[in-house]
């Protein structure tokens, strides 16, 4: 599923996320060879871990994490956390 040297498009990411979330919800599997960030992968893994009955809250959290990946807020939060850790704040 890797795209070689180019970044996947937002449409490709949305398609992959929908597939990964469905597999997590319906089969309890966490697919990791998809270009999703740490927060999104962790949220999808929580859905898979809750199989066969993941809560609506876990699904919503995975969708929110994916939205944060697309809009950059996950990366921004992680950068701020890393900066604070390095500076001792």
Q: Give the tens place of pLDDT for each residue, 39-54.
A: 999 999 999 999 999 9
CA 49, CA 51: separation in Å to the nearest integer?
A: 6
Residue 3 scores a pLDDT above 90: no
- Whole-number Cα distances in Å, 68 to 8, 10, 32, 62: 16, 13, 18, 10
Q: Could you tell me the pTM of the whole model?
A: 0.87
């Amino acid at each position: 599923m890797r795209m070689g040297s180019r970044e996947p498009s937002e449409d490709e990411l949305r398609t992959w996320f929908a597939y990964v979330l469905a597999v997590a919800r319906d089969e309890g599997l966490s697919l990791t060879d998809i270009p999703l960030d740490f927060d999104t992968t962790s949220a999808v893994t929580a859905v898979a871990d809750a199989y066969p009955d993941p809560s609506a809250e876990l699904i919503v959290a995975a969708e929110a994490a994916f939205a944060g990946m697309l809009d950059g807020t996950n990366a921004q939060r992680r950068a701020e956390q890393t900066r604070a850790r390095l500076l001792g704040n």
